[in-house]
Chain A
Amino acid sequence: EAGVAQSPRYKIIEKRQSVAFWCNPISGHATLYWYQQILGQGPKLLIQFQNNGVVDDSQLPKDRFSAERLKGVDSTLKIQPAKLEDSAVYLCASSLGGTGGAYEKLFFGSGTQLSVL
């Protein structure tokens, strides 16, 4: 079974530039998540999609971050303009149904490591 695919693996940009990350979830998974992981900390949820609708974006800095999931499959996360504090690993995850049942497991990709200089 193919896992969650993310690209690029690494990205280096200067502050005030824009950047985009791409995620392809596991086939058939209705729910997609974007997490931000700053060095030394656990992942923090940015946004959750159920199919192509947003379920939770309460921690997404909407003045600079945006995300979309067209057709309920692939997703892109964009930062514009980037700040130094956005340096982090951006993880995408997917799960089967998003109903949050006891057996709901999240499957994570390997992430995109962003460095903002």
Chain B
Amino acid sequence: DAKTTQPPSMDCAEGRAANLPCNHSTISGNEYVYWYRQIHSQGPQYIIHGLKNNETNEMASLIITEDRKSSTLILPHATLRDTAVYYCIVRVAFSSTLTFGKGTMLLVSP
């Protein structure tokens, strides 16, 4: 699976949009981009995934660049409960293995 690069930490003010970047410049055509997050003392939680089109669900939006070499996870109105480590993972379709990196620690402050 392709490697991903994420900033180790980011800050965001409560109520503002949180934009978390991820670089995956070696991504292949059959690899999807997944985002999970891990709140303190809990297991990781699925957020969203996409192949090449932008995706939106009740939790977040995923913007993938046209060349698919990078993506951005957007939390439109961050709350204190969104403070967590966010993992960007590239995974081959039909492969159920998730390989986690160190992720981005997002701190949402009042």
Nearest B residue to A111 by beta-carbon distance?
B43
- The reply to whether the CB of A114 lies closer than 8 angstroms to some CB of chain B is no
Whole-angstrom CA separation of A100 from B96 in the bound complex: 4
Is A45 within 8 A of B97, CB to CB?
Answer: yes
Whole-angstrom CA separation of A102 from B100 in the bound complex: 17
Task: Given A42-B102, A42-B103, A110-B41, check contact A99 B94 (CB 8 Å).
Answer: yes
The stretch of A14-22, A68-76, A78-86, A90-98 that contacts the partner chain: A90-98
- B contacts with A, residue count (CB < 8 A): 24
Q: A interface, by DSSP: helix, strand, loop or mixed?
A: loop
Q: B interface, by DSSP: helix, strand, loop or mixed?
A: loop
Nearest B residue to A40 by beta-carbon distance?
B102
Whole-angstrom CA separation of A101 from B103 in the bound complex: 23
Whole-angstrom CA separation of A110 from B46 in the bound complex: 14
Is B46 within 8 A of A31, CB to CB?
Answer: no
- The reply to whether the CB of A44 lies closer than 8 angstroms to some CB of chain B is yes
Binary per-residue interface labels of chain B (89-110) against chain A in the complex, 1 for a CB within 8 Å, 0 otherwise: 0011111111111110000000
Is A43 within 8 A of B94, CB to CB?
Answer: no
Nearest A residue to B43 by beta-carbon distance?
A108
Sample of 21 A–B contacts (CB below 8 Å): A31-B96, A42-B87, A42-B101, A42-B102, A43-B44, A43-B100, A48-B96, A48-B97, A95-B96, A100-B91, A100-B93, A100-B95, A100-B97, A102-B32, A102-B51, A104-B96, A105-B46, A106-B44, A106-B46, A106-B96, A111-B42
The 5 closest A-B pairs by CB, nearest first: A108-B43, A42-B100, A100-B96, A100-B94, A105-B46
